[in-house]
């Protein structure tokens, strides 16, 4: 069984072998194969979107994905929700010595598959190996570059207007609870699948359906509640959500209750939240439901003009809770 | 003697001229025989220039800035008014809004001070000539009764269905009674808000009400026809009889006699919350052979009570079959108060109608606003050495309750023109109040939850020097970032030192463990047995997902450390049979108290450790003892009582240790767990027998609705300004 050693990151012969046999082989494309210190891109015709993200997930393989798939999907989705067509991606690995090369290979193949599916080129990369214990198995950083072809398109919280609808593409909390349930030491036997997926096609279709999309986001870390709080903080308006319209899978809900988490604050990796004009909402909803990744899309709320920058949740029994931005851990409240 | 009397916002002002001896006589008489509802807080006497008044008259109130007058709480119907409505010769025969200076609405109808009809919601009713005469006649008991009214000129009742259609009938009250007899649920507008009412002998309708109100288990309050009816269904001590008959008319918790009323009124409890009629309208509901009504405040679980006609139809249409409204507007809604008698004295649990607002004089207190707690919120304000405590607001879980809080704050600040420069609040970092506090540009003083509890008890008992405080409650944020609630503090108004507490256990899933007591049971068992936990799980918990709970504890996932007595009670309640989730605050602990066999005198072993200069109760042997008893099939009732005895025992022992060490022999008991009668009585009596002076709550609730007063006084001692 071959394993990664410190020499794989030293820049010497072993490093080269790894790059040739693993990275070039899987990611190969004209730009990467320039094999220069930096990759040179052609001039892009439009506005350019850039995003970067690091992935430090544990476990690295989970039901519905792995750290490789996640590192490509996460970055591509960030480009897509900004209205950009994902074009290029760079990848950086920080690997703990001792990782099996077979595992690394699986991860790289998974990344290559996603990049291909999204029609994105991996154009640069880097590998570092660190001593045992310095990182947990493997960390991946990806940077994405996308092109905004439509010069009129400007997705921004300032666009939001009273009466606009909030649409979510499907169930909430799947990714976060999947990861939690598969942490080995917890010994849970739940079968929750992560929703980790590429959203670029779905989002392209949404943008082609309506010119009145105000803003889109993928509610990853912090979940829907945090994402909506971030959006609304810059808008002078508030959002009212209806609990009864929010879809949470039964197994996700019961895991949340067991661990004391609120599914509205749990991460998703294959969901998009769309704020769209009232008039276009149903049209957009139909489009979303036509895509397998949006088949459970629903309108979950709307924008109100109360100047308080709050996210409200109308509960099933008719009360209204404020969904605050959490800073740090969730502490039990007073008495 | 001549002169005048008038209401000012600083209090009643009497200017009187006459012979010196007559005036002294007058003052003595006033002190010894004040008017029925008068509560003379302070009397200022000063000499003034002779103006040669020609008569004695009652003057109209005038507005003054900067004053601070007591607004009376709403008071239950007096004997005289009751006689009026029962007398078919009287012009107020069966008139539901009869009142006089000795009774009727006050705080709930006041919009502004001074207290004059035009500044209340009675303003829109022009008094008829007969009423006006009474109002002006110094010999009439309706002299200056601001809400004075009669069938000709006063508010009226209307009965509507859930579509808003008026029910055409001769007598809406009799029709209402008819509906209730037929098993319907009525929304009835009363003094401080709407009630949901139904026949308390009809088990089915009570169940329907539970379903519609989303309230599976929490006991329903009852209104009973008269004191004899109360005696028929409940045991009643002398003191209890006095309290339930008082003009404050609280809901009083009483021990029920065996099985006469449907058991779904108070499932699994052995107490009933009972009140007597307190407005003429309520008396009239019992005219036609109904003797007990369920009377629960009209809201859906956790939301504020409905009190406006406009909102009643919208918010209650899914619950009620008919609504009985009237056109006297409620300006400040007010819940029913809840009280019980322990150690032969009344202990208020929820201070609202009849009791609130509470006013106190307090020397050297700064002008402060105290936000109160998250659950069972009240707030407190002070100005010019007067302290004001708001009526019960509720749990600030919903925007609706938060708005109710803001409305109350605005109202009180406004009528008294209070604008404090200091704000006190709970130090919990995620508390609801932090966003409220952040908006205020004034001096901010965070106060620790249990310090506030103990100080509230000290203030009520007028203790200022250092004291041992035992604070037993659910959860409060501690200065070390952990969840506290089984605490021994040595404190004064300004500072506290945490000298002892029960040991910390994990709270698996945080708040989730509060809702599901079995999780706390697993946590205690895990702490006690560590990896041998599985051999020691009692049968009743075997079906639970124990593995997961142990895993979250071991991996420290969302599991804060907690030393809460409330959670300890929850855990033991789950060990001996509390199943499922708690549906209202304290449900599991109440079950444990109810189960306890009064004759059991045994205790469990425990250790008191001394670590980091703090005494700590190690609960391992208690848990072991309970599990051994369970395995030996000792009854739940005996285990429950042995557990109570044990808590009493170590509480007293710790007081002995720290009392000796710090030379303090005064102890204050506070925190919601002291609503438990066995515990309060047990600790109180044992401490007293050991020579301690023990202070407990009376009108300031021991639960979190007393916190605001504590916060205010602590902040005043700490404030720079
Ligand atoms: Fe408390
Ligand atoms: Mg991202
Ligand atoms: Zn009266
Ligand atoms: Zn009249």
CATH for A171:
3.90.650.10
Which helix (H) or strand (E) segment holds residue A147: the answer is strand A138-148
Stretch B415-439: mean pLDDT, rounded?
Answer: 86
Could you tell me the pLDDT band of residue B63, with boundaries at 50, 70 and 90? very low
Q: What is the model's pLDDT at position B721?
A: 62
Q: Which DSSP symbol is given to A56?
A: -
DSSP string, B71-102: PPPPBPPPHHHHHHHH-TTSTTTT-TT--BTT
Decide if A101 is inside a domain.
yes
Q: Are A323 and A253 in contact (CB under 8 A)?
A: no
CB atoms within 10 A of CB A158: 11
Decide if A34 is inside a domain.
yes
Stretch A72-84: mean pLDDT, rounded?
Answer: 97
Decide if A116 is inside a domain.
yes
Q: Cβ separation of A260 and B510 shorter than 8 Å? A: yes
Collapsed DSSP state (helix, strand, coil) of residue B643: helix
Q: Cβ separation of A334 and B514 shorter than 8 Å? A: no
Q: What is the model's pLDDT at position B585?
A: 92
Our CA-based measurement puts residue A243 at a distance from the nearest CA of chain B, in whole angstroms, of 14
Q: Cβ separation of A330 and B511 shorter than 8 Å? A: yes
Chosen domain end from A148, A173, A193: A148
More confident residue, A303 or B7: A303
Q: How far is CA B77 from the centre of its chain?
A: 21
B157-339 has CATH 3.90.870.40 classification? yes
Decide if A1 is inside a domain.
no
Q: Which residue has the tokens 């099939």?
A: B633
Angle of CA points B716, B388, B391, to nearest 5°: 125
Decide if A33 is inside a domain.
yes
| Residue A282 at interface with chain B, using a CB cutoff of 8 Å | no
Q: Is the dihedral of CA B174, B179, B183, B185 positive or negative?
A: negative
Which of B298, B372, B397, B446 has the most A C-beta neighbours within 10 Å, making it the best mutation to test the interface with A?
Answer: B397
Our CA-based measurement puts residue A181 at a distance from the nearest CA of chain B, in whole angstroms, of 10
Q: Is the fold of B157-339 the same as that of B500-650?
A: no
Report, in angstroms and rounded to the nearest whole number, the Rg of chain B calculated over CA atoms. 27
Does A101 share its domain with A122?
A: yes
Does the N-terminal peptide bond of residue B357 adopt cis geometry, omega within 30 degrees of 0? Answer: yes
The first and second tokens of residue B656, run together, are 């002995």
Does A25 share its domain with A102?
A: yes
Does A301 share its domain with A179?
A: yes
Give the phi and the psi of residue B303 in degrees, each rounded to 5. Answer: -90, 155
Does A222 share its domain with A99?
A: no
Q: Cβ separation of A326 and B430 shorter than 8 Å? A: yes
Does A315 share its domain with A185?
A: yes
Nearest CA in chain B to A255: B548
Ligand nearest to the CA of B374: 1
Does A141 share its domain with A191?
A: no
Number of H helices, E strands in chain B: 21, 28
Any idea which of B55-69, B162-176, B181-195, B350-364 has the lowest mean pLDDT? B55-69
Pairing of strands B11-17, B157-161: unpaired
Max avg pLDDT among A187-196, B2-11, B372-381: B372-381
Which helix (H) or strand (E) segment holds residue A111: the answer is helix A101-117
Our CA-based measurement puts residue A138 at a distance from the nearest CA of chain B, in whole angstroms, of 21
Collapsed DSSP state (helix, strand, coil) of residue A21: helix
Decide if A13 is inside a domain.
yes
Our CA-based measurement puts residue A333 at a distance from the nearest CA of chain B, in whole angstroms, of 7
Decide if A35 is inside a domain.
yes
Our CA-based measurement puts residue A335 at a distance from the nearest CA of chain B, in whole angstroms, of 4
Q: Are B592 and B640 in contact (CB under 8 A)?
A: yes
Q: What is the model's pLDDT at position B71?
A: 82
The first and second tokens of residue B658, run together, are 């720290």
Q: What is the model's pLDDT at position B4?
A: 86
Nearest CA in chain A to B319: A317
B-proximal residues of A, 290-319, CB under 8 Å: 312, 315, 317-319
Q: What is the model's pLDDT at position B301?
A: 73
The first and second tokens of residue B86, run together, are 């029962």
DSSP string, B399-438: HHHHHHHHHHHHHHHHHTT---SEEEEE--TT-HHHHHHH
| Residue A257 at interface with chain B, using a CB cutoff of 8 Å | yes
| Residue B577 at interface with chain A, using a CB cutoff of 8 Å | no
Q: Domain residues of chain B, as ranges? A: 157-339, 500-650
Does A215 share its domain with A111?
A: no
Q: Cβ separation of B400 and A324 shorter than 8 Å? A: no
A-proximal residues of B, 262-291, CB under 8 Å: none
Residue A331, pLDDT > 80, answer no
The first and second tokens of residue A301, run together, are 């709320």
Chain A residues touching residue B473 (CB < 8 angstroms): 335
Stretch A199-215: mean pLDDT, rounded?
Answer: 96
Decide if A15 is inside a domain.
yes
Could you tell me the pLDDT band of residue B65, with boundaries at 50, 70 and 90? very low
Q: Which residue has the tokens 């570059």?
A: A145
Chain B residues touching residue A320 (CB < 8 angstroms): 398-400
Picking from A103, A143, A166, A136, the residue whose alpha carbon sits closest to that of residue A300 is A166
Measured in Å, residue B391 CA sits from the centre of ligand 1 at: 17
Q: Is the dihedral of CA B384, B385, B391, B396 positive or negative?
A: positive
Does A18 share its domain with A140?
A: yes
Which helix (H) or strand (E) segment holds residue B640: the answer is helix B636-662
The first and second tokens of residue B270, run together, are 């052995």
The first and second tokens of residue B690, run together, are 């050991």
The first and second tokens of residue A264, run together, are 């509205």
The dotted CATH code for B500-650 is 1.10.357.160
CB atoms within 10 A of CB A20: 11
The first and second tokens of residue B25, run together, are 């006589």
Could you tell me the pLDDT band of residue B434, with boundaries at 50, 70 and 90? confident
Calculate the dihedral angle through the C-alpha atoms of B484, B490, B495, B500, rounding to the nearest 10 degrees.
-30
Does A161 share its domain with A138?
A: no
Q: Look up the domain containing A138 and give its range.
A: 6-148
Q: What is the pLDDT of residues B590-611, one digit of tens each?
A: 999 999 999 999 999 999 999 9
Max avg pLDDT among A158-172, B27-41, B429-443: A158-172
Our CA-based measurement puts residue A182 at a distance from the nearest CA of chain B, in whole angstroms, of 12
Q: Are B303 and B196 in contact (CB under 8 A)?
A: no
Residue A202, pLDDT > 60, answer yes
Could you tell me the pLDDT band of residue B322, with boundaries at 50, 70 and 90? very high
What total of structural domains would you count in chain A?
A: 2
Q: What is the pLDDT of residues B172-217, one digit of tens each?
A: 999 999 999 999 999 999 999 999 999 999 999 999 999 999 999 9
**Beta strand spans in B315-466 (E):** 322-326, 338-342, 345-350, 358-361, 368-370, 380-383, 386-389, 422-426, 443-447
Does A214 share its domain with A274?
A: yes
Q: How far is CA B360 from the centre of its chain?
A: 17
Alpha-carbon distance B490 to B498, whole Å? 7
| Residue B487 at interface with chain A, using a CB cutoff of 8 Å | no
**CATH value at residue A31:** 3.30.1330.10
C-alpha pair distances (Å), A161 with each of A219, A296, B647: 21, 25, 58
Does A64 share its domain with A19?
A: yes
The yes/no answer to whether this complex scores an ipTM above 0.95 is no
Alpha-carbon distance A233 to B45, whole Å? 58
Chosen domain end from A112, A127, A148: A148
Q: Are B351 and B337 in contact (CB under 8 A)?
A: yes
Alpha-carbon distance B193 to B335, whole Å? 7
Stretch A175-198: mean pLDDT, rounded?
Answer: 88
Nearest CA in chain A to B315: A318
Residue B478, pLDDT > 80, answer yes
Q: Which DSSP symbol is given to B686?
A: H
Q: Cβ separation of B512 and A331 shorter than 8 Å? A: no
Collapsed DSSP state (helix, strand, coil) of residue B181: helix
CB atoms within 10 A of CB B52: 7
Chain A residues touching residue B483 (CB < 8 angstroms): 331-332
Q: What is the model's pLDDT at position B45?
A: 86
Pairing of strands B292-297, B221-224: antiparallel
Measured in Å, residue B440 CA sits from the centre of ligand 4 at: 47
Our CA-based measurement puts residue B100 at a distance from the nearest CA of chain A, in whole angstroms, of 38
Chain B residues touching residue A261 (CB < 8 angstroms): 509, 558
Nearest CA in chain B to A329: B558
Residue B61, pLDDT > 70, answer no
Chain B residues touching residue A176 (CB < 8 angstroms): none
Picking from B319, B324, B432, the residue whose alpha carbon sits closest to that of residue B375 is B432
Does A175 share its domain with A278?
A: yes
Ligand nearest to the CA of B92: 4
| Residue A332 at interface with chain B, using a CB cutoff of 8 Å | yes
Measured in Å, residue B142 CA sits from the centre of ligand 3 at: 8
Ligand nearest to the CA of B130: 4
Q: What is the pLDDT of residues A276-300, one digit of tens each?
A: 999 999 999 999 999 999 999 999 9
Alpha-carbon distance B422 to B407, whole Å? 20
Size of interface A-B (CB pairs under 8 A): 123
């Amino acid at each position: 069984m071959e394993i990664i050693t410190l020499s794989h990151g030293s820049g010497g012969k072993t490093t080269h072998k790894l790059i040739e046999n693993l990275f070039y082989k899987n990611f190969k494309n004209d730009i990467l194969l320039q094999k220069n210190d930096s990759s040179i891109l052609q001039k892009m015709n439009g506005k350019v979107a850039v995003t970067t993200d690091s992935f430090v997930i544990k476990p690295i393989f989970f039901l519905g994905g792995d750290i490789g798939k996640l590192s490509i999907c996460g970055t591509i989705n960030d480009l897509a929700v900004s209205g950009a067509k994902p074009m290029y991606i760079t990848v950086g690995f920080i690997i703990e010595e001792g990782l099996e090369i077979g595992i690394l290979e699986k991860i790289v193949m998974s990344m290559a598959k996603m990049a291909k599916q999204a029609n994105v080129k991996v154009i640069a990369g880097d590998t570092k190996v660190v001593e045992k214990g310095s990182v947990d198995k493997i960390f991946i950083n990806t940077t994405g570059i996308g092109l905004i072809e439509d010069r009129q398109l400007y997705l921004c919280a300032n666009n939001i207007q009273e009466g606009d609808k909030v649409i979510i593409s499907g169930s909430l909390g799947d990714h976060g609870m999947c990861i939690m349930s598969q942490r080995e030491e917890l010994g849970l036997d739940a079968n929750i699948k992560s929703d980790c997926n590429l959203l670029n096609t779905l989002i392209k279709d949404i943008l082609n359906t309506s010119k009145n999309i105000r803003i889109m986001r993928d509610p990853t870390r912090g979940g829907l509640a945090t994402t909506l709080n971030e959006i609304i903080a810059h808008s002078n308006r508030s959002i009212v959500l209806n609990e009864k319209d929010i879809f949470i899978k039964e197994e996700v809900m019961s895991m949340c209750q067991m661990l004391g988490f609120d599914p509205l604050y749990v991460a998703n990796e294959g969901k998009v939240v769309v704020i769209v004009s009232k008039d276009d909402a149903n049209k957009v909803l139909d489009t979303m439901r036509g895509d397998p990744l949006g088949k459970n899309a629903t309108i979950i709320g709307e924008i109100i003009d109360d100047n308080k920058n709050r996210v409200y949740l109308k509960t099933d029994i008719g009360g209204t809770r404020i969904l605050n931005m959490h800073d740090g851990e969730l502490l039990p409240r007073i008495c | 003697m001549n002169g005048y009397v008038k209401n000012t916002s600083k209090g009643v002002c009497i200017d009187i001229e006459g012979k010196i001896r007559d005036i002294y006589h007058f003052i003595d008489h006033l002190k010894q025989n004040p008017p029925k509802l008068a509560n003379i807080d302070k009397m200022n006497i000063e000499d003034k220039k002779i103006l040669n008044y020609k008569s004695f008259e009652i003057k109209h109130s005038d507005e003054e800035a900067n004053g601070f007058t007591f607004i009376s709480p709403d008071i239950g119907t007096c004997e005289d008014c009751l006689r009026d409505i029962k007398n078919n010769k009287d012009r107020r025969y069966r008139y539901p809004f009869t009142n006089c200076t000795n009774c009727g609405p006050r705080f709930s109808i006041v919009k502004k001070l001074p207290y004059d009809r035009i500044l209340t919601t009675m303003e829109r009713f022009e008094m008829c000539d007969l009423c006006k005469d009474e109002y002006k006649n110094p010999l009439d008991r309706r002299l200056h009764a601001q809400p004075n009214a009669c069938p000709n000129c006063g508010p009226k009742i209307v009965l509507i269905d859930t579509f808003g259609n008026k029910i055409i009938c001769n007598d809406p009250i009799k029709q209402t009674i008819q509906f209730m007899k037929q098993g319907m649920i009525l929304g009835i507008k009363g003094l401080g808000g709407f009630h949901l009412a139904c026949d308390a002998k009809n088990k089915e309708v009570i169940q329907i009400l539970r379903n519609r109100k989303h309230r599976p288990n929490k006991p329903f309050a009852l209104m009973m026809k008269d004191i004899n009816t109360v005696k028929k269904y409940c045991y009643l001590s002398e003191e209890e009889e006095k309290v339930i008959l008082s003009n404050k008319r609280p809901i009083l918790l009483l021990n029920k006699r065996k099985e006469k009323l449907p058991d779904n009124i108070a499932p699994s409890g052995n107490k009933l919350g009972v009140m007597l009629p307190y407005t003429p309208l309520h008396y009239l509901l019992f005219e036609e052979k109904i003797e007990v009504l369920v009377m629960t405040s009209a809201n859906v679980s956790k939301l504020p009570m409905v009190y406006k006609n406009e909102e009643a139809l919208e918010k209650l249409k899914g619950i009620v079959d008919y609504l009985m409204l009237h056109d006297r507007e409620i300006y400040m809604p007010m819940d029913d108060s809840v009280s019980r008698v322990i150690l032969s004295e009344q202990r208020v649990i929820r201070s609202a109608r009849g009791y609130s607002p509470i006013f106190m004089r307090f020397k050297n207190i700064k002008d402060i606003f105290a936000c109160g707690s998250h659950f069972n919120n009240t707030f407190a304000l002070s100005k010019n050495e007067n302290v004001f405590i708001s009526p019960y607001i509720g749990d600030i879980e919903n925007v609706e309750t938060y708005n109710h809080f803001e409305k109350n704050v605005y109202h009180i600040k406004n009528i008294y023109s209070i604008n404090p420069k200091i704000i006190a609040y709970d130090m919990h970092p995620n508390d609801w109040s932090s966003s409220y506090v952040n908006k205020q540009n004034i001096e901010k003083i965070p106060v620790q939850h249990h310090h506030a509890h103990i100080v509230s008890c000290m203030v009520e008992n007028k203790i200022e020097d250092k004291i041992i405080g035992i604070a037993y409650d659910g959860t409060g944020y501690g200065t070390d970032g952990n969840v506290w609630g089984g605490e021994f503090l040595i404190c004064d108004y300004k500072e506290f030192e945490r000298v002892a507490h029960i040991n910390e256990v994990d709270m698996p899933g945080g708040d989730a463990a509060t809702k599901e007591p079995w999780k706390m049971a697993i946590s205690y068992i895990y702490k006690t047995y560590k990896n041998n936990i599985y051999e020691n799980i009692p049968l009743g918990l075997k079906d639970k997902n124990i593995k997961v709970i142990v895993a979250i504890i071991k991996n420290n996932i969302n599991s804060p450390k907690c030393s809460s007595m409330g959670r300890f009670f929850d855990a033991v309640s789950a060990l001996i049979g509390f199943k499922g989730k708690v549906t209202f605050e304290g449900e599991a602990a109440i079950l444990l108290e109810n189960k306890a066999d009064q004759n059991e005198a045994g205790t469990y072993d425990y250790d008191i450790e001394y670590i980091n200069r703090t005494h700590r109760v190690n609960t391992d042997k208690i848990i072991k003892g309970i599990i051994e008893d369970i395995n030996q099939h000792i009854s739940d009732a005996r285990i429950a009582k042995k557990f109570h005895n044990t808590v009493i025992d170590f509480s007293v022992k710790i007081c002995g240790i720290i009392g000796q060490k710090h030379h303090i022999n005064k102890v204050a008991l506070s925190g919601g767990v002291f609503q438990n009668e066995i515990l309060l009585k047990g600790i109180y009596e044992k401490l007293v027998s050991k020579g301690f002076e023990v202070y407990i709550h009376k009108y300031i609730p021991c639960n979190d609705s007393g916190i605001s007063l504590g916060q205010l006084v602590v902040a005043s001692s700490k404030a720079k300004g």
